[in-house]
Amino acid sequence: YRRGEAGAQHLAWIATFDLDACVWTNAPGGSIGASLGAMGDWNGSTSLPRVVQCEDVALILYNPSDVLRAVFPQETHAWFPRAAFDEVRTRGKWNFARKGDGYVALYSALPATWTTSGPDADHELVAAGARNAWICQVGGKSEDGSFDDFVAAVSQATVTTTGAGNDPASHRLAVEYQAPGVGKLELDWDGAPLRDGATVQTRGFD
């Protein structure tokens, strides 16, 4: 939906456990976005991502235009309130959390670091770079076994990304993820999404 365009007060995706334990990403507006009243750091998104969900996995690509990059911060970030979860772990580029018997895993192709000061401390992961690929996978005890099992399966799965960083918007941006329990998922900024080589139907959601 309007991928690559500014989205005032849009929230493209969210993984929700309760009112406090939830995870999502956006492209923050910084001081300029806040002055517009519609695209601050957490409301709206200065560049809407391309999002494709297949079962319990969402692939999320950010690729803002050169015009948007000239105005807004060249970064993406995630709302990930650690204190709202019962357990949080980091494995490489993956961050995991457990709430009761529910699990969430979040991956950033670009290095994502925890904010350690200010109002967003321990709530925010920041990834510098205009173009990025994020992956979110959710699970639970009944489907995925223990939290240890979920962390091990997801963190050991193969992820391949192309184009994350500050390349021009016209360059290829893609992610491929061998998702446990789901299959091989592929998403390109321009191409059809694939699951195990077959096209994923997204008509009506673009």
Beta strands in 8-145 (DSSP E): 15-16, 22-26, 50-54, 57-62, 75-79, 87-91, 94-99, 102-108, 112-114, 124-128, 132-140
In a domain, 19, yes or no: yes
Tell me if 29 is assigned to some domain.
yes
Distance of CA 171 to the CA centre of its chain: 20
Average pLDDT for 94-108: 99
| Portion of the chain with pLDDT greater than 70, in percent | 93
Asked whether residue 9 is assigned to any structural domain, the reply reads: no
2 within a domain of the structure (yes/no) = no
Half-sphere exposure at residue 202, Cβ-oriented, CA atoms within 13 angstroms: 19
Q: For position 195, what pLDDT does the model report?
A: 96
pLDDT tens readout for residues 38-74: 666 787 788 899 999 999 999 999 999 888 888 888 9
- Nearest-5° angle of CA 121, CA 123, CA 126? 85
Tally of structural domains, the chain: 1
Q: What is the per-residue pLDDT across 164-200, written as a single tens digit (0 to 9) for each?
A: 999 989 999 999 999 999 999 999 999 999 999 999 9
Q: Is 145 within a domain?
A: yes
Is the residue at 85 inside a domain? yes
Residue 147 counted as domain residue: yes
Instruction: Give the pTM.
Output: 0.94
Q: What is the pLDDT of residues 140-152, one digit of tens each?
A: 999 999 999 999 9
Q: What is the pLDDT of residues 2-40, one digit of tens each?
A: 887 777 778 899 999 999 999 999 998 766 656 666 666
Q: What is the residue range of 117's domain?
A: 15-199
Q: Judge whether 8 lies within some domain.
A: no
